[in-house]
Amino acid sequence: MGIQVQGRVHAGVGKRMMGKAVMNMGSVEYVNDLFSLKGHVGVVTGASRGIGLGIAKVLTDAGAKVYNLDVVSRSSEEEISGEMTDVQVNLMDREETKQVIETIAEKEGGLDFLVNNAGITYKCRAEEFPADRYQRIQNLNLETVFELCKMCYPYLKQSQHIGRIVSISSMGAHMGFSGVVPYCMTKSGVTGLTRGLAEEWKNDNILVNSVAPGWVLTRMNEEMFRENPDRKEAALRKMMLDRFAAPSDIGRMILFLLGKASSYCTGQDFAVDGGALAHGF
């Protein structure tokens, strides 16, 4: 089945996506093209393990060239079938991070996407929360995300594929969790940042979204659940799908948001939580 698409051209992202085109929507090639990242280059922070590594694997499998910016090294046991370059950097060191971004962009001739995944938390009641721990969480989870968006902006604006920013939010941006109040606060900030940048950069060839994962079965969470099986059962009871997410589940949502299939999506926070937020009482 072939269709002809015509539309209004304006100064923003639509300039790249609208206009006259003929597409065979029934073809395998068309569908593959919607989710292909061949020729796309970008940055994923915190991709040495956990959710970030799962994201990187999905993106490289789709053809993207990924630069992993992380303070820790990737384990030699963790193999990537596609093309990923590990860059060890302290993301909270603004000058060092800026130099890394500039070097990557110069080498690759630009950037097409930024995935803000790196984040930390600390469990402690609010009235006893140490100030230094709070500052680190605020710095990495929110301030660093904002700074990275600013650093990548001039390159994303020039992307031939439409620049994309996807930041990792959390169920904690939408629900209250005891013992991790600063974490919830910063993730709420990420969703606000996402909406604000989407509006401000709407005419700059950049789409901005965030993804709110539910419980993801990373090694860290697996260890926690082994020590506290009751918590595991309580978490599962909140999920309509009755299973935890794999890192690749989050990666596939990121893939959608970086490709052509999501060309009409911006300013949104997409929950990938097995139905937890919609579960109700």
- Least confident interval from 5-9, 85-89, 107-111, 147-151: 5-9
Q: Cα–Cα distance between 241 and 209 in angstroms, integer?
A: 24
Alpha-carbon separation of residue 225 from 113, 184, 248 (angstroms): 34, 21, 20
Residue 37 pLDDT > 60: yes
**Burial state string for 185-198 with b = 16 or more CB within 10 A and e = fewer than 16:** bbbbbbbebbbebb
Nearest-10 Cα torsion for 280, 237, 210, 86: 170
> Which of 103, 131, 132, 114 lies closest to 46, judged by CA?
114
In this prediction, residue 199 carries a pLDDT of 99
Q: Cα–Cα distance between 73 and 89 in angstroms, integer?
A: 10
Look at 224 and 114; give whichever has higher pLDDT.
114
In this prediction, residue 220 carries a pLDDT of 76
In this prediction, residue 224 carries a pLDDT of 80
pLDDT-based confidence at 20, cuts 50/70/90? very low
In this prediction, residue 231 carries a pLDDT of 86
Average predicted confidence (pLDDT) for the chain: 91
- Residue 30 annotated among the catalytic residues of the structure: no
Residue 5 pLDDT > 70: no
Look at 98 and 222; give whichever has higher pLDDT.
98
Q: Cα–Cα distance between 18 and 36 in angstroms, integer?
A: 19
Structure confidence by residue, pLDDT tens digits, 153-194: 999 999 999 999 999 999 999 999 899 999 999 999 999 999
In this prediction, residue 222 carries a pLDDT of 87
Element (H, E) at 249: helix 247-258
Structure confidence by residue, pLDDT tens digits, 234-274: 889 989 998 999 999 999 999 999 999 999 999 999 999 99
pLDDT-based confidence at 279, cuts 50/70/90? confident
- Look up the CATH architecture of domain 35-272: 3-Layer(aba) Sandwich (3.40)
Which residues does residue 164 pair with via DSSP β-bridges, in sequence order?
Answer: 113, 207
Q: Cα–Cα distance between 66 and 215 in angstroms, integer?
A: 25
> Which of 137, 175, 159 lies closest to 16, judged by CA?
159
CA within 13 Å, CB half, 235: 20
In this prediction, residue 196 carries a pLDDT of 99
Longest dimension (CA), the chain: 63
Look at 234 and 109; give whichever has higher pLDDT.
109
Retrieve residue 42's tokens: 């970008």
Residue 218 pLDDT > 60: yes
In this prediction, residue 45 carries a pLDDT of 99
pTM score: 0.89
Residue 21 pLDDT > 60: no
- Least confident interval from 111-120, 205-214, 272-281: 272-281
Question: Are 58 and 248 in contact, with CB atoms under 8 Å apart?
Answer: yes
Residue 9 pLDDT > 70: no
Domain ranges of the chain: 1-26, 35-272
**Cβ neighbours, 10 Å, residue 139:** 15
Q: Which residue in this structure is represented by tokens 């969480």?
A: 137
Q: Cα–Cα distance between 141 and 180 in angstroms, integer?
A: 13
From 122, 153, 183, 264, active-site residue: 183
Q: Cα–Cα distance between 216 and 248 in angstroms, integer?
A: 10
